[in-house]
Amino acid sequence: MKRFIAFLTATIMVAAAAWDCNAQGNAEGNAQSNSQPKKVSVLGDSYSTFAGHNPEGYAPFYPNDRNDVTEVEQTWWSLYIKAMGYELEQNNSWGGTTICGTGYGRMDSSASSFNARVDMLGDPDIIFIFGGTNDAWAGSPIGEYKWEGWTKEDCKSFRPAYACLLDSLKKKYPDAEIYSILNSELREEINESSREVCKHYGVQLIELYDIEKQNGHPSIKGMQSICNQLLDAIK
């Protein structure tokens, strides 16, 4: 009986979180129903992947037998798009990738970096950048702030690569709204650098908190929390 009550309580909590995500977006989502829905593109890493919904050859994390997210409708981006009445343009997310060109084991990851994928987002009205996690976990070099004239070598460090990324996105998609999402529990160098670069380019940085994870990746509850925090942050 105690196990049943615990299971029922957990189920109710998850359902309530899902309702909250949908309810918060309902008013604005309804406003889209009588006009062309906005198109959303995602530039991300494994947190934004789902098999069959990313470019062929990219490494998805979801679904995964070590995480309870099993349906694409449970992902943060699908929840947000549904809540707002938008539609997906492109999801260019690749598991294990870094914003900069230095990946795990100090390998040159320039070819899969976020900067290498700037041109692959279609024609979006809204762009979400969700990265920095692998830069933090891989111990990628931070580097120095640089606001123009980036070289490939510059972009092997986080700060200049992030600046180059935002500069390129704003020039490539001048009419798009651009938001950057920052994972919780990253090292402070990454957090501080993200704040400074986003401030320089006038890009809203959404710093996540209290995201439940399984095997280092958002669970169903964590995905719903990301959606709710986006709805709260973007007005």
Least confident of 56-60, 84-88, 99-103, 166-170: 56-60
Percentage of the residues of the chain whose pLDDT score is greater than 90 = 84
Residue 198: Cβ within 10 Å count: 22
Residue 200, CB half-sphere, CA atoms under 13 Å: how many?
Answer: 18
Per-residue tokens: 7: 């299971």
Question: With 80 as the cut, is the pLDDT of residue 10 above it?
Answer: no
Cβ atoms of 122 and 70 closer than 8 Å: no
pLDDT, residue 35, reads 84
Domain ranges of the chain: 2-233
pLDDT in tens, 94-107: 999 999 999 999 99
pLDDT level of residue 69 (50, 70, 90 thresholds):
very high
- Give the pLDDT score at 43: 98
Task: Pull the structure tokens for residue 114.
Answer: 């976020």
Residue 70 has φ and ψ, to the nearest 5°, of -120, -10
Dihedral sign computed on CA atoms, order 45, 199, 171, 206: positive
Q: What is the CATH number of domain 2-233?
A: 3.40.50.1110
For 125, the enclosing helix (H) or strand (E) is none
pLDDT in tens, 150-202: 999 999 999 999 999 999 999 999 999 999 999 999 999 999 999 999 999 99
